[in-house]
Amino acid sequence: MSRTVVLVDAVRTPFGKAGSMYSGTRADDLMVRAMRGLLERNPKVAPSAIEDVAIAAATQTGDQGMNLGRSVSLLAGLPNTVPGYSVDRWCAGALTAMTSLAGAIAIGSIDIAIAGGVEHMGNHPIGDGIDPNPRFLAEKIVEQDALAMGATAERLHDRFPHLTKERADRYAYNSQMKTAAAYAAGKIQRDLIPTAARIPEMGWGIASVDEPPRPTTTMEGLATLKTPFRPAGRVTPGNSSGLNDGATAALLASEDKAKELGLTIKAKLVSYAFAGVEPEVMGYGPVPATIKALAKAGLTIADIGAFEVNEAFAVQVIAFLDHFGIADDDVRVNPYGGAIAVGHPLASSGIRLALNLARAFEEHPEVRYGLTTMCIGLGMGGSVIWENPHFSGGSK
């Protein structure tokens, strides 16, 4: 038995720079705000109708511990009859929360659920509290570079010398410009849930826009940035995503339940796949994951008319595009910009991709299929293929 799973809606908090505008805000409170905002936008869904909640975080200690799926549900005011669990697949946490719940919906064990992801990198810097097994390096299971994401991006440049720093900088510049244009057109703000923020020096305020974007970015400025992961390297803070705080939430349902309740349908899930690669080039993970997801859907890359690729590093995105013969500046890819501009609060980003793709579907009824994909630390990739419910015929 398999049922069609749909994305009803998705929202996110504005993303902040790590430890900046959310320095006085707990991670679980960011997640509560996103979840409440999602439910406020969908009043036809009674909180008691939610049958499961899966919330992701890459660092599950402190204010990101204590089973976020359950604790955040209670804090957000869901009835105590609604169960929940936490998810950890590092950067693909929210993506995995969606696919895990989708699997449960597809086989009929639940009808409607909330997926989410949060990362407060100000409270929990990358690697905080982890203790890698010494066998990883002692037995050469992985190279040292595998444990530093920026170093894996440098390795991608090594593997594909034609993916130059200039190309990476150009991609990063375009991401900033596309984000600025999307903000100017009001396309990003509509899905941001205004969120209380407290900075000790300034007191309380309301965050209503993303903090990280740099609309004044220039190619000349990008060319001068230091390469922190390798002397005379190619990966810089300008062509990478930043360290960020933020949360995302998505409402998933069976197609039948969505229609019964009169809910919007923003996208239909077609297939998904996760795949592994050498940990030293973890950024290449979206390539095999996408190949698997396409095969499961019986599609080819030519069938995909809209792409949301997480911009952990510019080189990682252009390596993906290069493999599939897609131009670095293809208009189908990340039309509202991406993580290089708005930020990448690790486990939350998968839902931001789905949210942006759903908006692209609305703007492009001629597009039938879209893809969300991202790389994952220690050598993985995750991809989801979605169908446009607004499809009106055409070639893609």
- Would you list the DSSP string of 149-175? HHHHHHHHHHH-TTS-HHHHHHHHHHH
pLDDT in tens, the chain (396 residues): 689 999 999 999 999 999 999 999 999 999 999 999 999 999 999 999 999 999 999 999 999 999 999 999 999 999 999 999 999 999 999 999 999 999 999 999 999 999 999 999 999 999 888 999 999 999 999 999 999 999 999 999 999 999 999 999 999 999 999 999 999 999 999 999 999 998 777 788 999 999 999 999 999 999 999 999 999 999 999 999 999 999 999 999 999 999 999 999 999 999 999 999 999 999 999 999 999 999 999 999 999 999 999 999 999 999 999 999 999 999 999 999 999 999 999 999 999 999 999 999 999 999 999 999 999 999 999 999 999 999 998 655
Task: Single out the catalytic residue among 91, 120, 157, 364.
Answer: 91
Biggest distance spanned by C-alpha atoms of the chain: 59
Q: Is 344 designated active site?
A: yes
Report yes or no: 150 and 228 within 8 Å, Cβ to Cβ: yes
DSSP state of 137: H
DSSP state of 240: B
Give 239-260 pLDDT, tens digit per residue: 999 999 999 999 999 999 999 9
Q: How far apart are the first and last CA of the chain?
A: 28
Task: Single out the catalytic residue among 120, 157, 364, 375.
Answer: 375
pLDDT at res. 393: 81
d(CA 68, CA 71): 5
d(CA 360, CA 47): 28
Domains and CATH numbers, the chain: 5-123+243-385 (3.40.47.10)
Joined together, the tokens standing for residue 133 give: 């097994």
Grouping H, G, I as helix, E, B as strand and the rest as coil, residue 176 is helix
Identify which of 225, 236, 213, 217 has the alpha carbon closest to the alpha carbon of residue 173. 217
Q: Is 364 designated active site?
A: no
Q: Is 375 designated active site?
A: yes
Task: Single out the catalytic residue among 120, 344, 364, 390.
Answer: 344
Report yes or no: 32 and 277 within 8 Å, Cβ to Cβ: no
